[in-house]
Amino acid sequence: MASPIRISLDAMGGDHGPSVVVPGAALALDRRPDIEFLFYGDEPTIRPLLDQHPKLAARSKLVHTAVAVQMDDKPSQALRKGRRVSSMWQAIEAVKRNEADVAVSAGNTGALMAMSKFCLNTMAPIDRPAIACLWPTVRGESIVLDVGASIGADAQHLVDLAIMGAAMARIVLGVERPTVGLLNVGVEEIKGIEEVKAAGRILREANLPALDYHGFVEGDDLGKGTTDVVVTEGFTGNIALKTAEGTAKQVATYLREAMASSFMSKLGYFLARGAFNVLRKKMDPRRANGGVFLGLDGIVIKSHGGADPVGFCGAIEIAYQMAQHDLRARIRESISQSQDGRLAAAAAAASP
């Protein structure tokens, strides 16, 4: 019998804390009966919620923590007051102690990244971690990174992102040699800033075994699903993510208003409600909830802070997949296979 997947949860993280984390975990357990949970947080608050789900309680351990990182805490502030004693830190440290395979938190992103880097360190020879997310496309889904871990990137960092994103794509998308594109202002090789052009040259010439470099892609290629993986630095990636989320909400608002504007519109909606339900499911952000921290010597998943139980369950599903398929081992294997490409990236970054 296979060993259970052990998931540690920052039960106090996010806008709603245990009231979302506990029922979200219960949903995930229904889908994945081989999960075991470690809950970290305020026991008097969590225990009554856990007792409402006897099946979940039987597969869980609850560890009391007196400190919770607030959503508006600065990363440095969270480290000072929450190091070793907060629910967020304890959930991460469970991974370091090998008591959990993966940690999940809906808490403050900056604090979670700072604590994860401090507690787990980066995986050699990766210098900086990244946040990767699932991106709905007309072809299915793609992996996009970095969506906010750090600002700016040299050629080596972009090559590292491509390697790590491809490793994640092999797990999530089931593609043996994922296609990778570099987000740019045009597809022509002469366009873009020098760091992006240098990374493109390295990826094209290296012909790395772990990925199939497609070339430059533009903003509209994100929704088209032109490549399995889209690579960019965190500033641009976060803006792209927030723009896409806002556009989805805008389109949904337009549709609701249009369908309620007249009797004929309401009748049309009634006749086409099956198609609209399909559209609603495809645009539901809960389906793609869960940013994966790549490059750490341990697996950490960031859930959206405002997620409901279904959304938090989605983040746990991502965590389950990353642990089940041993994301760290996949990334290490890809880095080893791609060492020549990393050396070329380092040389390009060092050249004037």
pLDDT in tens, 171-215: 889 898 999 999 999 888 888 899 999 999 999 988 888 899 999
Calpha distance 101→78 (Å, rounded): 24
**Average pLDDT value for the chain:** 87
- Map tokens 């305020």 to a residue: 42
pLDDT exceeds cutoff 60 at 348 = no
Calpha distance 290→307 (Å, rounded): 10
Give yes or no for a cis peptide into 125 (omega within 30° of 0).
yes
For the ranges 24-33, 86-95, 234-243, the lowest mean pLDDT is seen at 234-243
pLDDT at 269: 64
Please tell me the pTM assigned to this model.
0.86
C-alpha distances out from residue 26 to 31, 32, 53, 194, Å: 9, 10, 7, 48
Phi-psi region of 140 (alpha: psi -120 to 50; beta: other; left: phi over 0): left
Give the residue-averaged pLDDT of 36-60. 96
For the ranges 60-69, 122-131, 219-228, the lowest mean pLDDT is seen at 122-131
Contact residues for 318 (Cβ-Cβ < 8 A; gap 6+): 134, 172, 289, 290, 292, 301
Alpha helices by DSSP H, the chain:
18-31, 43-51, 54-58, 75-82, 87-96, 109-120, 155-172, 194-206, 220-224, 234-259, 263-271, 273-283, 309-324, 327-337, 339-350
Is 324 in contact with 6 (CB distance < 8 Å)? no
**1: Cα within 13 Å, side-chain hemisphere:** 4
Domains and CATH numbers, the chain: 1-120 (3.40.718.10), 127-288+327-352 (3.40.718.10)
